Amino acid sequence: MAAGDQISADRIIYRALPYRHINKKTGKAKDSAFILKEAHTNEAGQQWPAEDYLSFGIDPAYAKAGLQNIPYTCGVLVGDILALGRNLRVVEDVDGKVQVSGMPLPSQDLEMSVTIAKDLRNISRDYE
């Protein structure tokens, strides 16, 4: 497979979750784990562009690759993502990463952004 290729519907892909995206009562992913980030400046003063896709990994290790202090991952079956409709696309990125795109930024369409995030959260499965 190469960057831009569709991911098979029977694959599970994994989203790395920092503590802030985990519901402390249930231990499950929050909706916020599936919302695109707007352009922002972090605490170190680095500027980050707005996201146009969510990053997943082909396994939990790839999901966490290059990240620090990420204790948790959740998995989502690609077929379940595609079954949501909503023009979502799931394609291979580079180095074991997967792009899930097609959702709007909250500033573009807050209601749809939250609806898709809830849909993704509802079909996610817990993994450590």
Per-residue pLDDT tens over the stretch 57-68: 999 999 998 888
61, 73 Cβ separation under 8 angstroms: no
Residue 128's H or E segment, with its range, is none
Per-residue pLDDT tens over the stretch 116-126: 999 999 999 87
What pTM did the predictor assign? 0.87
96 conformational bin, left if phi > 0, alpha if psi -120 to 50, beta if neither: left
Inform me whether the pLDDT recorded for 3 exceeds 90: no
